Amino acid sequence: MAFEHSLTSEMDWRWMWLSFPFGILAQVFRALRWRQVLRPLGGQPRLGTCVNAVFLSYASSLVVPRIGEVLRCSVLKRYDGISFSQGVGTVVTERIVDVVMIALLSFIVFLMQIPIFIDFFQQTGIGLGGFLGQFTLTGWIVTMVSGLLIVVTGLYLLRHYELMTRTRSVMKELKEGLLSICHLDGTWLFLFYSLAIWVCYFLHFYLTFFCLSSTSGLGIDVAMVAFVVGSFAVLVPTPNGAGPWHFAVKTVLMLYGVPGDDGALFALIVHSVQTLLVAVLGLYAVVALTVTKTHKLLNYNKL
């Protein structure tokens, strides 16, 4: 009842709506960066295909965690003819860059808020053992099933595209994808995209603080701590970090004086609404890609 009451009566939806464009832009900037990384490989992926592939990858990971990265490479292969193994290489490169970005942000925020982080670790008992302890039996099962699906999907795609018979070529293309960042046309543009992705992610989260009275008075420093801690919490393989993310954000808010129930309610509302946005973007991508395929077939039949 508290959840429904907050959604209908207590919540200022203007701030939630204002946060949506930044959630969408984060994925669009990711598509722009991916397209830039792919270009040195000789392909010419369309921006629309890249955007829809990214939208679909996030949405599919709500169903099977981590499957989205494989799926977006297969989408690009199917619609724009980009090598699947090269695509995988570029995705790995992108993830390495993201790790560096979040590591730098975490270091800066940690230096700014050392006492709060110490309290967080002490109150939650989170170290490596504590982090692994967040994996329930269901979580471990999901992890193993996800890993198995990724392997099976990868093997199927490799076989489907007749790459199993040319292993050397596959490894060469994978290496080319990994090293494509070394041949970028516009390093500063790549850095801008990388920064823009995380700025948009943060604003997508921070603006939701103003939706509820319990968090509207908190400063941007609180949002940065919650954002960083939440970014690590989503590493646990659950749909969009459900569970660990709620726990992490609620705990951080409690350290800044927000009552536990209010913090839990904030995390539940924000996560639910933003997950719904990801799902809607995924559905949009399915429709857009279907229309693209139909349009190509119609043009082919006219020839």
Q: What is the pLDDT of residue 59?
A: 92
Q: What is the pLDDT of residue 66?
A: 76
**Every domain of the chain and the residues it spans:** 2-295
Type of residue at 166: R
pLDDT at 298: 46
Q: Which residue has the tokens 């007749």?
A: 162
Using CA atoms, how far apart are residues 9 and 156, in angstroms rounded to an integer? 50
DSSP per residue, 244-281 = HHHHHHHHHHHHTT--HHHHHHHHHHHHHHHHHHHHHH
pLDDT of residue 97: 85
* Residue 38 near residue 184 (C-beta atoms within 8 A): no
| Amino acid making up residue 71 | L
- Measured in Å, how far apart are the chain's first and last C-alpha atoms? 60
pLDDT, position 162: 47
What average pLDDT values come out for the chain (303 residues) when binned by 10 residues?
Answer: 58 91 96 88 84 93 83 88 80 84 84 70 54 51 59 55 46 51 74 93 94 88 88 72 82 85 89 94 93 59 44
